[in-house]
């Protein structure tokens, strides 16, 4: 379980980005973090993964625990060793290296060659396209394939908690649905997920529970079903791109249908 209590983050002296966030991510959970630009979503992931310092940020108050370990003062490599691995926004794969080399780089932290081989097999089963493109330069993959590679590389360490920063960004709806299915499969295989998204329809379809951040605070929290039904969420995040209330309702209906199919999937997986 990841437990965040009263987390406060600053960038330099002048910018206070998070103002006391509370969040829990159960070991078998998928928690979505929603919110508009600048709400603090990426900052929250940076705080969990220990990468704030690379962005001149610091935890100025509160605590983050993973299990019984306090992690908000650990460096990123130590946090990865505890099983908490992030896929930052913008994918950041090694564009000039091949798909295979990218995956190998992800597995460097694995404890043994057997672990690496097992992880590689799991990743290629999850993303068969990466096996087909193994020798290709990563920079030549499509946007969706690059996102799959970024997730696959993170999975090479065998994480128990995966942090995803806007995996749907810039991808076509069909590819977004493929990424959503993959997140469900990763979860069904026993990895907890924190999913930061601006695509609330996708995130609420995949997650068990969600929080909405507004200017560095949790404005709303609840189960994915509660938030899908919330008028505020519908107006701000589900209806935001809809031309009419009817379309917003269709989107919410679509999210409910995908959730129902997910329940079917997890029953099947379990």
Ligand X SMILES: Nc1ncnc2c1ncn2[C@@H]1O[C@H](COP(=O)(O)OP(=O)(O)OP(=O)(O)O)[C@@H](O)[C@H]1O
- Does position 53 bind ligand X by CB under 6 A? no
Runs of H (alpha helix) within the chain: 41-49, 76-81, 99-106, 113-126, 128-132, 143-155, 173-188, 200-206, 224-229, 231-233, 245-269
Of positions 2, 4, 17, 210, contacts ligand X by CB under 6 A:
17
- Does position 91 bind ligand X by CB under 6 A? no
Of positions 53, 56, 70, 235, contacts ligand X by CB under 6 A:
56
How far apart CA 178 and CA 173 sit, in angstroms, is 9
- Does position 94 bind ligand X by CB under 6 A? no
Min dist. Cβ of residue 194 to ligand X (A): 13
- Does position 88 bind ligand X by CB under 6 A? no
The residues, ordered by sequence, that sit 6+ positions from 260 with a Cβ below 8 Å of its Cβ are none
How far apart CA 265 and CA 225 sit, in angstroms, is 17
Q: Interface with ligand X by CB under 6 A: which range of 11-19, 92-100, 185-193, 232-240?
A: 11-19
Q: Interface with ligand X by CB under 6 A: which range of 40-48, 123-131, 154-162, 172-180?
A: 40-48
* Cα dihedral sign, 47-49-51-53: positive
Comparison of 88 and 107: residue with beta carbon closer to ligand X: 88
Q: Interface with ligand X by CB under 6 A: which range of 41-49, 78-86, 100-108, 222-230?
A: 41-49
Q: Which residues in the 175-204 window bind ligand X by CB under 6 A?
A: 198
Q: Interface with ligand X by CB under 6 A: which range of 30-38, 95-103, 171-179, 230-238?
A: 30-38
How far apart CA 30 and CA 34 sit, in angstroms, is 13
Query: 86 burial class (0-12, 13-18, 19+ CB within 10 angstroms)?
Result: buried
- Does position 39 bind ligand X by CB under 6 A? yes
Q: Are the beta carbons of 9 and 60 closer than 8 angstroms?
A: yes
Residues that bind ligand X in the complex, under the rule CB under 6 A: 11, 15, 17, 35, 37-43, 55-56, 198
């Amino acid at each position: 379980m990841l437990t965040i209590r009263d987390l406060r983050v600053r960038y330099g002296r002048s910018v206070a980005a998070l103002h006391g966030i509370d969040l829990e991510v159960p070991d078998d959970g998928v928690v979505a973090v929603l919110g508009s630009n600048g709400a603090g979503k990426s900052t929250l992931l940076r705080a969990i993964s220990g990468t704030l310092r690379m962005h001149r940020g610091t935890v100025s108050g509160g605590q983050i625990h993973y299990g019984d370990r306090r992690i908000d003062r650990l460096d990123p490599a130590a946090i990865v060793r505890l099983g908490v691995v992030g896929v930052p926004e913008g994918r950041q794969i090694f564009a000039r290296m091949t798909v295979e080399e990218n995956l190998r780089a992800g597995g460097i932290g694995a404890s043994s060659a057997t672990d690496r081989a097992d992880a590689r097999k799991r990743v290629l089963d999850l993303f068969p396209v990466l096996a087909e493109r193994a020798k290709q330069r990563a920079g030549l993959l499509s946007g969706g394939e690059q996102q799959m590679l970024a997730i696959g590389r993170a999975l090479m360490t065998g994480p128990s908690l995966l942090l995803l920063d806007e995996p749907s960004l810039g991808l076509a709806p069909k590819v977004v649905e493929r990424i959503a299915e993959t997140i469900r499969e990763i979860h069904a295989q026993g990895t907890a997920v924190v999913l930061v998204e601006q695509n609330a329809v996708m995130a609420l379809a995949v997650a068990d529970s969600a929080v909405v951040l507004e200017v560095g605070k949790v404005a709303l929290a609840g189960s994915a079903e509660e938030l899908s039904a919330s008028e505020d969420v519908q107006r701000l995040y589900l209806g935001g791109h809809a031309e009419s209330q009817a379309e917003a309702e269709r989107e919410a209906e679509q999210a409910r249908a995908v959730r129902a199919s997910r329940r079917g999937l997890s029953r099947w997986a379990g």
